């Protein structure tokens, strides 16, 4: 293995591989791995995008991070990830993807600026006040009924949630007490 001093090699682009123009790639599944692989093939492998085929059995790409606005159920995402500073491959990829909203910026720039403007970091399971421990002792002590109520809120449409009070959505007394206690600590009700 080669070890260099400094990080300048991280900024050098790979040479175009011999025969790159005649290569094709077939990726199975349109999750993060395949979508990232396609982006790296284009950027670092100098492969044309029209020579990459991604096969997906679902109607939308994204794998567990697909996102969908279902008019009957609201906004739904099957998974989620916290973006951490040691995701070197992800950040490397994001630096080469242009922002959709900010001229001259990359997706990496957007993440970086957001994290500087609104820092939010915690290893706690439940937090208040931008990452302070909510004193749950690492436990997420919701009963099965309370968990179902919470999931129902996540899956509800905007119309289903409009003009509802919290006690009209969450009925379980224990859950309401825990939730309201956390809110009181967070916003000083």
Strand 67-70 relative to strand 74-77, pairing: antiparallel
Residues of the chain with pLDDT under 50: 187-189
pLDDT, residue 121, reads 60
Q: 116 and 126 in contact (C-beta within 8 Å)?
A: no
**Phi, psi (degrees; rounded to nearest 5) at 27:** -115, 135
Q: How far apart are CA 16 and CA 48, in angstroms?
A: 11
DSSP state letters, 72-83: TTEEEES-----
CA 187 to chain centre: 26
Kindly state the tokens that stand for 136: 């749950």
The per-residue pLDDT for 7 is 76
Predicted model pTM: 0.58
Tally the residues of the chain: 189
Q: Which of 90, 31, 20 is nearest to 55 (CA)?
A: 31
Q: Whose CA is closest to 60, among 35, 39, 40, 93?
A: 35
Task: Say how many Å lie between the first and final Cα of the chain, rounded.
Answer: 59
Q: For position 60, what pLDDT does the model report? A: 78
pLDDT of residue 152: 81
Q: Which sign, positive or negative, has the C-alpha torsion 84, 114, 140, 152?
A: negative
User: Which token pair is 175?
Assistant: 């859950």
Question: DSSP secondary-structure letter at 55?
Answer: E
- Is residue 38 a contact partner of residue 25, using CB atoms and an 8 Å limit? yes
Angstrom distance (rounded) from CA 148 to CA 162: 19
């Amino acid at each position: 293995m080669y070890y260099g001093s400094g990080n300048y090699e991280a900024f050098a682009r790979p040479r175009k591989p011999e025969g790159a123009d005649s290569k094709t790639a077939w990726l199975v599944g349109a999750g993060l791995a395949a979508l990232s692989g396609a982006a790296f093939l284009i950027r670092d492998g100098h492969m044309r995008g029209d020579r990459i085929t991604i096969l997906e059995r679902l109607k939308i790409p994204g794998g567990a991070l697909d996102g969908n606005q279902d008019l009957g159920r609201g906004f739904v995402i099957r998974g989620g990830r916290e973006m951490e500073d040691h995701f070197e491959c992800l950040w490397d990829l994001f630096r080469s993807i242009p922002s959709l909203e900010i001229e001259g910026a990359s997706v990496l720039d957007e993440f970086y600026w957001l994290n500087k403007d609104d820092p939010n970091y915690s290893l706690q399971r439940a937090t208040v006040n931008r990452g302070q421990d909510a004193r749950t002792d690492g436990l997420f002590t919701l009963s099965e009924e309370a968990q179902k109520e919470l999931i129902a809120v996540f899956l509800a449409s905007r119309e289903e949630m409009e003009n509802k009070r919290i006690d009209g959505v969450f009925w379980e007394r224990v859950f309401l007490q825990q939730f309201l206690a956390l809110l009181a600590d967070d916003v000083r009700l």
